[in-house]
């Protein structure tokens, strides 16, 4: 009988946050994800011996984890978390307040009442450091120091480790001894990360694949002009062509992963799934036997839509005497895990996932062929958006897979040995995002980064190895390889946003400046100036007056919504790419008898949408089809609703049981085909007061 072979590839990656000259780690995210994700994602498989998977490790990530595990790594965030609160300087107190709330407000901060209480106090101070210092005494700061770290601990330790459980159960009023225990448990967890990969690889339950050492976009290293093939209209910087750097990043990747995990990686997830014929030729020369990328790349290679019949099979790429096996991730299903299932309960999400796989694989199975289903995605950033770090979802999913006789979860190499491959004589150059390279090259900030990288690379090329001390020459090369990583340009340009954007920009420029310093050259003055430009965040405005909307689905006059509150979406994305924004903005307010809501969409033509409102715990939903808004839930609230150019809603206050002085809490979500596609706000609630007097203040 034909079989479904399910191939999970979890990509574990963080940028190189280490300044190679000072040896200090500028940002804490490798450490934080090592506490929360890298160990547990493998360890959970011990409960499901039938489930075998592939974990893709970036060598520079392994190096950073080992630095932390051995106590070599130092970062200012860890120092600030471990220093006695009474001894913090004013600058250090400011640092703690600015950065120790960088966590998911619901699933990380909201899980701990005291942490949420402290966040509310920080918000109530209007993020003013001077005002906040009146609230955050030494005890409050120490509670924040401890909880901001414990919130990132792996579920296994939160549930089963007596020392960690005691910290959680204490909840507040932490002592210096508690603070010391928190630091000691961090080191303990970090020391377990690399061994768990080594142990599970030894048993064969996981396969370890790799990525080029510092996570560069290989096709752009080989020839940055190749970006014009995938997008002829993108403006490009001067040509960067150093295929020898791509080869070095790949060779070092194989050597490092083999040394530190005990297994030579057979497969490669090229950084961001970015491929080209030249990049694959180099990877094959280096000894890689398979590569994975996105089915969007497959579609452009084949010249047709990448449906499951095309995507759920392996391919054998052959060109100029080299060959490699190829798999192409199911983009849609992978994104459901990354962005959508976090909004659903574990059972419903797992059921939906399994059902979609069966439906997609049915035509292949009916034809007598096995189906190879590649699910490839980030193995860390999604989980903070899930309940209990996604462990209930993964446990439910793995249980269902284990019990399904038609489906088997296998490593990529196992699947390739069982399923026959179709031939490919070329690959379209592109990445997993839109089958092009637009995220990393083409926008002003990106192109400026490439210009500065090229100048440093050319300066390095002009220096003879013997003209500077060998250690300095090697340092310059290492700094160049770090600067070639994809992560810097991930944050340049308009696509993504992080509160640490300035730190990323500074670190990239510092890496390039260190190239010149190591070669005894003067860094160009351009490296002293930021590349990033200031961008607007989400716009949030409170209501200023009562409104009386017509609720006819149209903006009948300028004055109709004058005085309403506004929440305008910031459509830039964070550390994960792929969220589809549908809502442009929400207007909200109240009249004498009703609360009024208006949703403006980004797209003019929207098919089969369901819009759900949660107002003070009450739910109302409407299906938008054919220019009509049909109420499908919450009819007892007697909402008025209309949709033409905008969606307008009116809900009587007496039905919501909201008093004149009560605050109103709103959430909006947009669903398509039974799945949550967008929400506003993405985390938390919009709050306002019914009383006009407070608005006027």
pLDDT in tens, 541-550: 888 888 888 8
Residue with tokens 């190591």: 518
The whole-number pLDDT of residue 673 equals 66
The whole-number pLDDT of residue 676 equals 65
Which has the minimum average pLDDT: 379-388, 395-404, 681-690?
Answer: 681-690
Distances (CA, A) of 72 to 9, 66, 187, 258, 492: 30, 8, 11, 22, 30
pLDDT tens digits for range 275-301: 999 999 999 999 999 999 999 999 999
pLDDT tens digits for range 305-338: 899 999 999 999 999 999 999 999 999 999 999 9
Percent of the chain with pLDDT over 90: 73
Contact 528, 512 (CB under 8 A): no
Distances (CA, A) of 408 to 77, 357, 373, 494, 664: 42, 12, 10, 41, 48
pLDDT tens digits for range 429-471: 999 999 999 999 999 999 999 999 999 999 999 999 999 999 9
Distances (CA, A) of 479 to 217, 237, 510: 16, 21, 9
Set out the domains of the chain in order of their start, with CATH numbers: 1-74+195-434 (3.20.110.20), 75-194 (no CATH), 444-528 (1.20.1430), 539-696 (2.60.40)
| Count of other CB atoms within 10 angstroms of residue 501 | 17
Q: Quote the crossing angle between the two packed helices 138-150 and 90-99, to the nearest 10°.
A: 40
Give the H or E element holding residue 302. Answer: helix 295-302
Residue in 624, 589, 576, 630 with CA at minimum distance from that of residue 604:
624
| Count of other CB atoms within 10 angstroms of residue 447 | 21
pLDDT tens digits for range 474-528: 999 999 999 999 999 999 988 888 888 889 999 999 999 999 999 999 998 888 8
Contact 171, 113 (CB under 8 A): yes
> Which tokens is 511 given?
């890496």
pLDDT tens digits for range 633-665: 888 889 898 888 888 999 988 888 877 677 888
The whole-number pLDDT of residue 674 equals 62
How far apart CA 275 and CA 289 sit, in angstroms, is 15
Instruction: Give the residue, 418 or 594, on which the prediction is more confident.
Output: 418
The whole-number pLDDT of residue 536 equals 53
Mean pLDDT over 193-197 rounds to 97
DSSP line for 38-51: IHHHHHGGGG-TT-
- Per-residue pLDDT band for 576 (boundaries 50, 70, 90) equals very low
> 521 — phi, psi (to 5°)?
-115, 155
**Res 65 pLDDT > 70:** yes
Residue in 489, 479, 394, 402 with CA at minimum distance from that of residue 440:
489
Distances (CA, A) of 123 to 143, 416, 543, 615: 17, 53, 19, 22
The whole-number pLDDT of residue 77 equals 97
> Which tokens is 440 given?
């990393």
> 427 — phi, psi (to 5°)?
-130, 140
**Res 7 pLDDT > 80:** yes
**Res 531 pLDDT > 60:** yes
> 4 — phi, psi (to 5°)?
-95, 120
The whole-number pLDDT of residue 535 equals 53
Which has the minimum average pLDDT: 571-580, 608-617, 623-632?
Answer: 571-580
- Per-residue pLDDT band for 697 (boundaries 50, 70, 90) equals very low
Which has the minimum average pLDDT: 345-349, 495-499, 578-582, 605-609?
Answer: 578-582
- Per-residue pLDDT band for 591 (boundaries 50, 70, 90) equals confident
Beta strands at 663-672 and 686-689: parallel, antiparallel or unpaired = antiparallel
DSSP line for 470-514: HHHHHHHHHHHHHHTBTHHHHHSSSSB--TTHHHHHHHHHHHHHH
pTM of the model: 0.84
């Amino acid at each position: 009988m034909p079989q479904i072979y399910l191939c999970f590839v979890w990509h574990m990656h963080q940028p190189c946050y280490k300044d190679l000259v000072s040896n200090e780690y500028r940002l804490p995210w490798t450490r934080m994800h090592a506490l929360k994700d890298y160990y547990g994602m493998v360890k959970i498989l011990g409960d499901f011996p039938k489930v075998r998977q592939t974990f893709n490790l970036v060598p520079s990530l392994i190096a950073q984890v080992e630095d932390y595990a051995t106590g070599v790594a130092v970062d200012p965030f860890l120092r600030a978390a471990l220093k006695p609160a009474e001894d913090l300087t004013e600058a250090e107190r400011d640092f703690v307040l600015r950065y120790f709330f960088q966590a998911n407000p619901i699933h990380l901060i909201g899980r701990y009442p005291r942490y949420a209480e402290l966040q509310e106090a920080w918000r109530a101070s209007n993020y003013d450091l001077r005002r906040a210092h009146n609230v955050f005494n030494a005890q409050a700061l120490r509670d924040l120091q401890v909880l901001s770290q414990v919130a990132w601990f792996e579920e296994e330790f939160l549930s089963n480790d007596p020392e960690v459980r005691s910290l959680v159960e204490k909840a507040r009023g932490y002592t210096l001894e508690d603070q010391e225990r928190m630091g000691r448990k961090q080191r303990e967890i970090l020391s377990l990360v690399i061994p768990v990969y080594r142990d599970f690889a030894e048993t064969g339950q996981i396969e370890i694949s790799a990525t080029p050492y510092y996570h560069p976009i290989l096709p752009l290293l080989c020839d940055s002009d190749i970006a014009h093939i995938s997008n002829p209209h993108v403006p490009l910087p001067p040509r960067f062509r150093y295929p020898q750097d791509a080869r070095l990043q790949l060779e070092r990747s194989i050597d490092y992963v083999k040394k530190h995990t005990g297994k030579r990686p057979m497969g490669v997830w090229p950084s961001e799934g970015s491929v080209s014929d030249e990049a694959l030729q180099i990877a094959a020369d280096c000894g890689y036997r398979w590569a994975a990328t996105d089915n969007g790349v497959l579609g452009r290679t084949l010249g047709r839509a990448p449906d499951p019949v095309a995507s759920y099979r392996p391919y054998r790429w052959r060109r100029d005497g080299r060959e490699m096996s190829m798999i192409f991730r199911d983009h849609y299903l992978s994104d459901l895990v990354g962005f959508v299932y976090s909004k659903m309960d574990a059972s419903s999400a797992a059921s939906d996932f399994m059902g979609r796989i069966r439906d997609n694989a049915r035509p292949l199975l009916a034809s007598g062929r096995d189906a190879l289903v590649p699910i490839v995605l980030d193995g860390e950033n999604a989980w903070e958006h899930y309940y209990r770090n996604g462990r209930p979802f993964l446990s439910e999913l793995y249980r269902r897979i284990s019990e399904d006789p038609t489906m088997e979860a296998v490593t990529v190499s196992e699947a390739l040995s069982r399923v026959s491959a179709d031939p490919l004589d070329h690959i379209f150059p592109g990445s997993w995002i839109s089958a092009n390279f637009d995220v990393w090259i083409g926008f002003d900030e990106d192109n400026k980064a490439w210009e500065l990288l090229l100048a440093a690379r050319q300066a390095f090329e002009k220096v003879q190895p013997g003209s500077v001390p060998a250690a300095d020459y090697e340092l310059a090369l290492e700094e160049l390889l770090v600067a070639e990583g994809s992560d810097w340009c991930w944050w340049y340009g308009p696509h993504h946003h992080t509160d640490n954007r300035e730190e990323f920009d500074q670190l990239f420029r510092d890496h390039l400046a260190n190239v010149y310093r190591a070669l005894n050259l003067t860094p160009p003055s351009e490296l002293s100036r930021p590349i990033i430009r200031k961008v607007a965040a989400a716009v949030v405005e409170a209501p200023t007056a009562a409104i009386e909307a017509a609720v006819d689905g149209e903006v009948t006059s300028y004055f109709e919504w004058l005085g309403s509150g506004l929440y305008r979406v910031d459509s830039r994305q964070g550390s994960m790419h792929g969220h589809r924004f549908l809502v442009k903005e929400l207007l909200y307010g109240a009249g004498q008898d009703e609360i009024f809501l208006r949703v403006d969409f980004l797209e003019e033509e929207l098919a089969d949408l369901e819009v759900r409102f949660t107002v003070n715990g009450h739910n109302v939903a409407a299906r938008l089809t054919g220019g009509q808004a049909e109420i499908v839930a919450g009819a007892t609230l007697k909402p008025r609703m209309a949709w033409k150019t905008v969606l307008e809603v009116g809900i009587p206050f007496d039905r919501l049981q909201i008093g004149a002085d009560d605050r109103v809490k709103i959430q909006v979500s947009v669903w398509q085909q039974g799945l949550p596609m967008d929400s506003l706000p993405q985390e938390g609630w919009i709050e306002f007061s019914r009383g006009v007097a407070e608005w006027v203040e």
